[in-house]
């Protein structure tokens, strides 16, 4: 039941901003669980790729994502980032080098926007001046006016603004890998679309390797260089959005993308905004 797959960056070759992530026979079995949450996943995500883990809830995609920053320790297999085995590294040290975005609740409610964004730089002991500069730079990058937003608390932000702050926070220390766990699930469709444009633009500008978890097929098609379809702990197909739409590997993938496959394929042919 092992799925073997390899994804390549569409631009070919490594871009400066992203790390190569390799998963080798990765399995996760929670104590007392009848089935493994993740079972024997082999997956290579090339440097700078926007990879989307797509599947229904409970398929193991989120667990798989969390093995990459060691929030979940695999029971089998190994994971390498830029060739280095992550198990050999100190977990907190590793995590400071990997961006992590979850739904809006992940912002610290007792911190201001600036304090939230600068968590990792401050953990890394950056000079105060460098931290301040970086905060302003990041807020401008996500198109929030630093003068207006720096000192706000998360409660004073809209859902979309909070999520953009979450992205800025994850990118603060210039990570070479960015993990995003259903980051836009809690916002409405219009805001979600603009957040998707935003993250696509950031990815284009920075070339960070992104691993993005979603159960939303349209979101996956819209953002991914490579889609990794998962079901019941296994990777069932890996490919470009077009490949997944045109040649679904099995009945499961066909059902997942199938209902509107033709419309979706046509939508892909039309270039997205700025893409």
Partner 1 sequence: MSADFIAHLGAHVVLAGAALLVAAAIGIPLAGGAVDRPLPRGVLLALAGGFRVVPSLAVLTLTIPFLGLGFAPALLALVVLALPPILVNTDVALRSVPNATLEAARGMGMTERQVGTRVRWPLALPVVAVGVRTATVEVIASATLAAFIGGGGLGDYIVSGLQTGNFPELLLGAASVAVLAILADAALGVTQRRLALSLSPTSG
Residues that bind partner 1 (CB under 8 A): 69, 71, 92-97, 100, 102-103, 105-110, 119-120, 123, 152-153, 155-156, 169-170, 179
- Tokens 């290579």 locate to 44
The three-class DSSP label of residue 224 is coil
Q: Least distance to partner 1 from the beta carbon of 174, Å?
A: 14
Instruction: Please say which residue, 41 or 178, places its beta carbon nearer to partner 1.
Output: 178
C-alpha span between 215 and 260 (Å, rounded): 16
CA 87 to CA 145: how far, in whole Å?
40
Q: How far is the CB of 114 from partner 1 (least distance, A)?
A: 15
Structure tokens at 231: 């079901």
* Nearer Cβ to partner 1 (76/103): 103
CB 202 within 8 A of CB 141: yes
C-alpha 26/C-alpha 18 separation (Å) is 21
Mutual angle of helices 261-269 and 251-258, in 10-degree steps: 70
With respect to partner 1, which residue has the nearer C-beta, 25 or 159?
Answer: 159
* Residue 194 CB, nearest approach to partner 1 (Å): 23
Q: Which is nearer to partner 1, 65 or 221 (CB)?
A: 65
Burial class (CB within 10 angstroms; exposed 0-12, middle 13-18, buried 19+) of 225: buried
Nearest residue (CB) to partner 1, 117 versus 257: 117
* Nearer residue to partner 1 within complex by CB, 110 or 270: 110
User: Smallest distance from the beta carbon of 101 to partner 1, in angstroms?
Assistant: 9
Distances (CA, A) of 155 to 2, 14, 164, 254: 45, 40, 14, 41
* 124 vs 249, beta carbon nearer partner 1: 124
CA angle 186/81/196 to nearest 5° reads: 25
Q: For residues 34 and 50, give the distance between their C-alpha atoms in angstroms, rounded to a whole number.
A: 33
Under 8 Å CB-to-CB from 33, ≥6 apart: which residues? Answer: none
Q: CB 155 → partner 1: shortest distance, Å?
A: 5
Residue 213 Cβ vs partner 1, minimum distance, rounded to whole Å: 13
Q: Shortest distance, CB of residue 235 to partner 1, whole angstroms?
A: 23
């Amino acid at each position: 039941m092992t799925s073997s797959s390899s994804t390549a960056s569409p631009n070919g070759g490594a871009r400066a901003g992203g790390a190569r992530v390799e998963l080798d026979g990765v399995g996760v079995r929670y104590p007392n669980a009848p089935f493994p949450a993740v079972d024997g996943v082999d997956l290579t995500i090339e440097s700078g790729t926007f990879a989307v883990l797509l599947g229904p809830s409970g398929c193991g995609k989120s667990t798989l994502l969390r093995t990459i920053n060691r929030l979940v320790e695999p029971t089998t297999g190994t994971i390498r980032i830029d060739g280095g085995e992550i198990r050999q590294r100190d977990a907190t040290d590793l995590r400071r080098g990997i961006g992590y975005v979850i739904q809006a609740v992940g912002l610290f409610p007792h911190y201001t926007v600036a304090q939230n964004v600068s968590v990792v730089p401050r953990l890394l002991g950056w000079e105060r001046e460098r931290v301040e500069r970086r905060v302003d730079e990041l807020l401008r990058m996500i198109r929030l006016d630093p003068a207006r937003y720096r000192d706000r608390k998360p409660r004073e932000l809209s859902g979309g603004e909070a999520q953009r702050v979450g992205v800025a926070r994850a990118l603060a220390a210039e990570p070479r890998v960015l993990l995003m766990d259903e980051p836009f699930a809690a916002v409405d469709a219009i805001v979600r679309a603009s957040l998707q444009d935003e993250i696509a633009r950031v990815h284009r500008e920075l070339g960070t390797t992104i691993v993005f978890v979603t159960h939303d097929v349209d979101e996956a098609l819209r953002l991914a260089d490579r889609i990794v379809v998962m079901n019941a702990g296994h990777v069932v197909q890996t490919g470009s959005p077009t490949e997944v739409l045109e040649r679904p590997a099995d009945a499961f993938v066909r059902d997942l993308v199938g209902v509107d496959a033709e419309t979706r394929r046509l939508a892909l042919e039309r270039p997205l905004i700025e893409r």
